[in-house]
Structure 1
């Protein structure tokens, strides 16, 4: 049975680890990035994608113009500056990336059918969050593992891994409720809401 009030670190088994280790509190992600760090991340992301590698995305003229402005600022010894109208989205995306990275260091993986169903449901909620985000700034700054396409792929993967249980109403109900709680905590800006959601996504990657 899935206990909705238990943190992922206490719910999911660590492969080859003793049960006592599972109950250890999850590692806390580092403090959120500064505006300058988020700005540098965006500049690097645009610059690398502009090189048109095999996994690159299309970079807009506005993005290229902004990147050139940052090069000019650096030449003058000025710090990188985020566009005022998109700064919040870049800060959020960079913080989410950091929280996801912290979650990967937990070295946890789903072990039960119930946990696999939670994984599928959590990726479903995250797919919605990314697709419904206003503008492109958040989507462009998120790491690949937090993209909508990756979320859809992972949801299908975990539903398949859950097998017949994914079609049983009772089994799915608890997983859906857990995912709803995690998403609501994130969407409502609750303390550590984003961290807990990223933690689960990292565990279910």
Structure 2
């Protein structure tokens, strides 16, 4: 989308000014995904965590995430953001049912479990196996594959913004990857 505020011809997107105004007035719907590699019996062997520069220029770790566009299904939004962040050859295996492992609610003030300085947002969070080659795209600097234990460590959690370290741990626990 153009930084001049020109509306995107895709009616599912808002101009920068419209998005800022909407964020001040309404909670927005997001999807978040924890990409994982699984073995032959479906147990998580690796977790993919993105490395990004945030708006303030700090390097942080995060999950695949993004807004759901008007008229877009949850499944389509999840696939779009996985492909956008991990590349077209990631080959995600979306769940048969679009039921998330949790619903995370982000607030623009401290003291909340999940925070986002820009907005109040509701995020549907998924653990998604990927079978292909992942090449980070867009604003991701790299994708780091870790064991579930490494990913759930305090040091990695400290590098994640907005409480996403606890979201990552909850996702791993939901699939039995943490003991």
TM-score (norm 1): 0.21
The structure whose Rg is larger is: 1
Larger relative strand fraction: 2
